[in-house]
A and B are shown apart, each in its own frame.
Chain A
Amino acid sequence: MKAAVIVFPGSNCDTDCWHVIRDVMNVNVDFVWHKETDLKGVDLVVLPGGFSYGDYLRCGAIARFSPIMKEVIKHADAGRYVIGICNGFQVLLEAGLLPGALLRNRTLRFMCKPVYLRVENSTTIFTNHLKQNQVIEVPIAHGEGNYFCDERTLETLEGNKKIIFRYCSENGTISDEFNPNGSLSHIAGIINQKGNVLGMMPHPERMSESILGGTDGKKIWESIVSYVK
């Protein structure tokens, strides 16, 4: 298996992702600068967190037009795997690889804290090492993570089990109280129709080693790696 972490100007979780994929998962991984035009046949593309282009205009709106994004879209259309984390999720939405948009957090505050997520679908290539309804702890760090889409899109997401993670309490209760940013239907992560493109606001790469407080996030990397290998 080979992976690529895309680096936009302003990405700041690129090295974390690269480190986890290389040193924790023992997978071959390279950084790919956003101006490049070749993904060199990798299996997995990671769009990392950060503030690409300073979040100017809208988060992810300018990164979407980086030269490498044409290749990322081709890669996704060919059924290969893409995970967008935080700003990477925002880029996927702006690029139209996933439906919906992310608005300013309901509180208007940047939020950086561990949250609990309930696994809503454990049959995807990104969650097959997790159990249905399992609660995992993964940190968030964002100012604009308030997921929004129109009613029809939400129905499609729900009906086709494309909502992968929802914010919840430690024991899996879903309610406004445990929704940190106001996301519609408590959405923390969604997958595309084909099931090969995942976007999520929380950062699994920050929860992949016990020295950093936990390994729940590692399950997501393990799911992808075991599937591809």
Chain B
Amino acid sequence: MYKAKINVTLKKSVLDPQGKTVLQAVHSLGFHSAQEMRVGKYFELSLNSTDRVKAEQELKAMCAELLVNPVIEDYTFQLEEVR
């Protein structure tokens, strides 16, 4: 069994008005050191697989087909074995 953690963010070239607005709110709380906030998505899922390579392939396919829109988003993932 593997556990996957996937982070999806808007591409650098894509404006993120949500991130900008949240950053303004953070500034209004007095946290002036905060800069360049981007709001993204986080997925956690378990993969019933014993083969790491296969699990990774499946995960990439899921991201490409559904979880991520490559026109506007980038993603990274972590895969760890769990018992």
In the complex with contacts A108-B17, A148-B14, A182-B15, A101-B67 CB distance below 8 A: no
- B17 CB contact (under 8 Å) in A93, A100, A107, A150: A107
User: In the complex, A93 Cα to B72 Cα: how many Å?
Assistant: 12
Chain A positions 27 through 62: 1 when the CB is less than 8 Å from some CB of chain B, otherwise 0: 000000000000000000000000000000110011
User: In the complex, A37 Cα to B71 Cα: how many Å?
Assistant: 28
Chain B positions 1 through 30: 1 when the CB is less than 8 Å from some CB of chain A, otherwise 0: 000000000100111011001000000000
Q: Is B71 touching A148 in the complex (CB atoms < 8 A)?
A: yes
Closest to B72 in A: A101
User: In the complex, A129 Cα to B14 Cα: how many Å?
Assistant: 36
CB of B5, distance to nearest CB on chain A (Å): 17
CB of A56, distance to nearest CB on chain B (Å): 11
- B18 CB contact (under 8 Å) in A61, A93, A101, A108: A108
Closest to B14 in A: A148
Interface residues of B in 11-54 (CB under 8 A from A): 13-15, 17-18, 21
User: In the complex, A101 Cα to B14 Cα: how many Å?
Assistant: 11
Q: Is B71 touching A149 in the complex (CB atoms < 8 A)?
A: yes
In the complex with contacts A103-B14, A106-B17, A148-B72 CB distance below 8 A: yes
The total of interchain contacts (Cβ-Cβ below 8 angstroms) comes to 36
Residues of A within 8 A of B18 (CB): 104, 108
Interface residues of A in 75-134 (CB under 8 A from B): 93-94, 99-101, 103-108
Residues of A within 8 A of B82 (CB): none
28 A-B pairs with C-beta separation under 8 A: A57-B66, A57-B67, A58-B69, A61-B66, A61-B69, A62-B66, A65-B66, A93-B71, A94-B69, A101-B71, A101-B72, A103-B10, A103-B14, A103-B15, A103-B17, A103-B72, A104-B17, A105-B17, A106-B15, A106-B17, A107-B17, A108-B18, A108-B21, A148-B72, A149-B71, A150-B13, A182-B15, A182-B17
CB of A121, distance to nearest CB on chain B (Å): 23
CB of A93, distance to nearest CB on chain B (Å): 8
User: In the complex, A106 Cα to B72 Cα: how many Å?
Assistant: 15
Residues of B at the A interface (CB closer than 8 Å) are: 10, 13-15, 17-18, 21, 66-67, 69, 71-72
Closest to A93 in B: B71
Residues of A within 8 A of B66 (CB): 57, 61-62, 65
Closest to A100 in B: B71
User: In the complex, A106 Cα to B10 Cα: how many Å?
Assistant: 14
Closest to B21 in A: A108
CB of B46, distance to nearest CB on chain A (Å): 19
Residues of B within 8 A of A101 (CB): 69, 71-72
Residues of B within 8 A of A105 (CB): 17
Residues of B within 8 A of A65 (CB): 66
